Amino acid sequence: MDPSLTDSWRALQGHAASFDDLDLRRLFDDDPGRVDRMTLTVADLTVDLSKHRVSAAVLDDLIALANEVGLADRFAAMIAGERINSTEDRAVLHTALRAPVGSEVLEDGENVVPAVHEVLSRMGAFADRVRSGDWVGATGAPIETVINIGIGGSDLGPVMAYEALAAFRHERIRCRFVSNVDGSDLIAAVGDLDPATTLFVISSKTFTTQETLTNARSARAWLTASLGADAVATHFVAVSTNAAEVAAFGIDTDNMFGFWDWVGGRYSMDSAIGLSLMIAIGPDAFDEMLAGFRAVDKHMAATPIAENAPALLGLIEVWYRTFCDLPSRAVLPYSRALHRFPAYLQQLDMESNGKRVRIDGEPVNYETGPVIWGEPGTNGQHSFHQLLHQGSTVIPADFIVFGAPDHAEFEGADTHHDLLVANCFAQSQALAFGRTAEEVAETEADPLLVSHRTFPGNRPSTTIMAPALTPSVLGQLVALYEHQVFTQGVVWGLNSFDQWGVELGKVLASAIVGELTNTDTPDLRHDASTNALIERYRSMRGR
């Protein structure tokens, strides 16, 4: 379906023509009930949408657009196990990863929930053994460091959640994460470690991912150089669906934790891909995180669009990206623990909806897929916030903040946290309402500085608040954004669950690596630039 042919799309184009006239000061002045009406609650999250440049008429037409493209039906089809990933002929059932025991989610007529909980149970038993010290390495020493080797969704989710839930980690065990095939990444991870107390979790669905397997083989060489080849059995486990390749690597398939082709990498942190996280925070905290995911899943499935937080977030992003031509969105967590959250959302959003053709194969004739970027507050205030406030491009922002500090036992924690939150609220206020030239002139004596100290305001933002960053709240946040991205994809008519754009580079790299290493002069048949780069590299390496 081409969404641009709907009546609501044409209405929104009309609203966008007068976007510059949507003034936040006036919207607030004209509507005393705006904050109450545009503040939504989902589980522990409070989502304030009032500082967005949307009028009641714009919201009404966005909701109408969601209805015209069948958003609710599309979500129902996804959670029911229909093969909505049509280009790969797969169901999309990441919501089944957090389904409760006893529930039913069918994929090709089979209930997948028992298999999900069988894997979770095995993960929990393994995590408990590592945490208790019952699982020991080749020398009989307990594990002190877990190194997760993966890339993309097999890295970004676990490392983000591990950092976010630092306050809940095991007191003895620490995790490190290796994703980059640049050898310095692995060297930095293992450089100061004792192989006897190190456990590697190799995370790759197919167990053929080039970067991950290159790192895994080097990790194996590092370990066996000290402990011998037999040590692989107690120092390596796998998260994969490919038992043959896992066994060929030397890992006992009894120590393999599986998942399914209906789980996309960027939606997999609550599957076996989260094994390193479960070891760090424990099975009970992991279950709390799953419950947080589940609470937002229920909200998305059961709440009318006019009150549905992730759906409205997605619709507002469509408004900005497609109708108002705003190319990016900043994600600004006012929490050091969420410092990897913007990077996690980059993959979730940009890999899902960075598409130029609709699900029916036809090219889109409208903008899709914002650029997602960000940095924790207050660091960003002293770097890129200048552009947010006074730059020539309007960039919507998401502020994320918590009522309690992450480490309440820290002396002076309340003082630090009060200042952090004050900065968060001040930034969203300044972006929205700015400071007029007349207001500046009241205190600035030099008329030449008035324009420099004027803030245009009218810069939109969302503020998401929760009482504290707990495992449950983290699950809620991730699910909130998952369903926002889903909403955007449905409205744009995209398949948000394939990633063909990743494939071409992999294919070309596989060919080029042989040409870089060949002892004979290769017959290069690339473009002139790539041929020259290969020749220059070979010369640098003395080949």
Q: 185 and 221, same structural domain?
A: yes
**464 and 392 in a common domain:** yes
Q: Is 458 in the same domain as 520?
A: no
- Determine contact, residues 245/134, Cβ cutoff 8 Å: no
Q: Which of 285, 314, 346 is the last residue of a domain?
A: 285
Per-residue pLDDT at 247:
94
Residue 324 lies in a domain: yes
Q: Exposed, middle or buried, 73 (CB in 10 Å: 0-12/13-18/19+)?
A: exposed
Closest CA to 463 of 436, 495, 433, 426: 426
Closest CA to 34 of 19, 47, 51, 10: 51
- How far is Cα 119 from Cα 155, in angstroms, rounded to an integer? 19
Secondary structure of 76-118 as H, E, C letters: HHHHCCCCCECCCCECCCHHHHHCCCCCCCEECCEECHHHHHH
For residues 444 and 430, the answer to whether their CB atoms sit within 8 Å is: no
Q: What is the mean pLDDT of residues 434-440?
A: 92
pLDDT at residue 223 in the model = 98
Residues 137 and 58 placed together within one structural domain of the fold: no
CATH number for 429:
3.40.50.10490
Other residues' Cβ atoms within 10 Å of the Cβ of residue 16 = 17
Please, which residues have CB within 8 angstroms of residue 162's CB and are 6 or more apart in sequence? 169, 175, 177, 276, 277, 280
Residue 487 shares a structural domain with residue 510: no
Partnered with residue 236 across adjacent β-strands are 200
Question: Last residue of some domain: 233, 255, 285?
Answer: 285
Q: What confidence category does residue 458 fall into, taking pLDDT thresholds of 50, 70 and 90? A: very high
For residue 8, tell me if it sits in a domain: no
Spatial CA neighbour of 113 closest among 123, 127, 98: 98
Indicate the residue among 253, 285, 317 that finishes a domain: 285
- Comparing 100-114, 131-145, 400-414, 445-459, the range with the smallest average pLDDT is 400-414
Nearest residue to 313 via CA among 41, 27, 47: 47
The reply to whether 352 and 481 lie within a common domain is yes
Write phi, then psi, for 394 (nearest 5 degrees).
Answer: -80, 125
Find, among 345, 369, 340, 343, the residue nearest to 357 by Cα: 369
* Prediction pTM value: 0.96
184-202: string of b/e by CB count within 10 Å (b at 16+)? ebbeebbeebebbbbbbbb
Residues 526 and 472 both lie in one domain: no
User: What's the pLDDT band for 506 if we cut at 50, 70, 90?
Assistant: confident
Report residue 122 as tokens: 């095995």
**Is 343 a domain residue?**
yes
How far CA 469 is from CA of 91, 172, 340, in Å, comes to 32, 22, 14
Collapse the DSSP code of 329 into the 3-class scheme (helix H, G, I; strand E, B; otherwise coil) and give the result: strand
Neighbours of 205 (CB within 10 A): 25
Those residues whose C-beta lies under 8 Å from the C-beta of residue 372, and which sit 6 or more positions away, are 328, 329, 331, 342, 345, 346, 349, 350
Tell me the per-residue pLDDT of 231-251, one tens digit each, with 9 for 90 and over.
999 999 999 989 999 999 999
pLDDT tops 80 at residue 408: no
Burial zone of 150 (CB within 10 Å; 0-12 exposed, 13-18 middle, 19+ buried): buried
How far apart CA 20 and CA 17 sit, in angstroms, is 8
Average pLDDT, the chain: 96
Boundaries of domain holding 42 = 27-68+303-492
Query: Rounded distance, CA 68 to CA 542, Å?
Result: 62
pLDDT score at 412: 85
Residue showing tokens 């440049």: 53
Closest by Cα among 210, 230, 208, 209 to 220 = 230
| 368 and 454 housed in the same domain | yes
- The answer to whether 318 and 492 are in contact (CB under 8 A) is yes
The yes-or-no verdict on residue 1 having pLDDT over 90 is: no
Q: Which of 496, 110, 153 is nearest to 318 (CA)?
A: 496
In this structure, are 389 and 486 located in the same domain?
Answer: yes
Cα gap 7→489, rounded to integer Å: 19
In angstroms, the CA 68 to CA 65 distance is 5
Structurally, how many domains does the chain consist of?
A: 3
Note whether 401 and 469 are within 8 A (CB): no
Query: Residue 475: inside a domain, yes or no?
Result: yes
137 and 263 share one domain: yes
Q: Is 280 helix (H, G, I), strand (E, B) or coil?
A: helix
| DSSP β-ladder status, 110-111 and 106-107 | antiparallel
Same domain, 513 and 459: no
Gyration radius of the chain's alpha carbons: 25
Catalytic residues, which ones?
A: 351, 382, 506
Rounded Cα gap, residues 405 and 415, in angstroms: 10
Residue 516 has pLDDT above 90, yes or no: yes
* Residue-level pLDDT at 444: 86
In a domain, 406, yes or no: yes
Q: How confident is the model at residue 413, as a pLDDT?
A: 87
Instruction: Give percent of the chain above pLDDT 70.
Output: 100
Tell me which H or E stretch contains 415.
Answer: helix 413-433
DSSP string, 417-459: HHHHHHHHHHHHHHHHH-B-HHHHHTT---GGGTTTT-B----
70: pLDDT confidence band, cut at 50, 70 and 90?
very high
161 and 277 belong to one structural domain: yes
Outline where DSSP puts E strands in 258-404.
Answer: 328-333, 371-374, 397-402
User: For the segment 4-52, what is each residue's pLDDT rounded down to a tens digit?
Assistant: 999 999 999 999 999 999 999 999 999 999 999 999 999 999 999 999 9
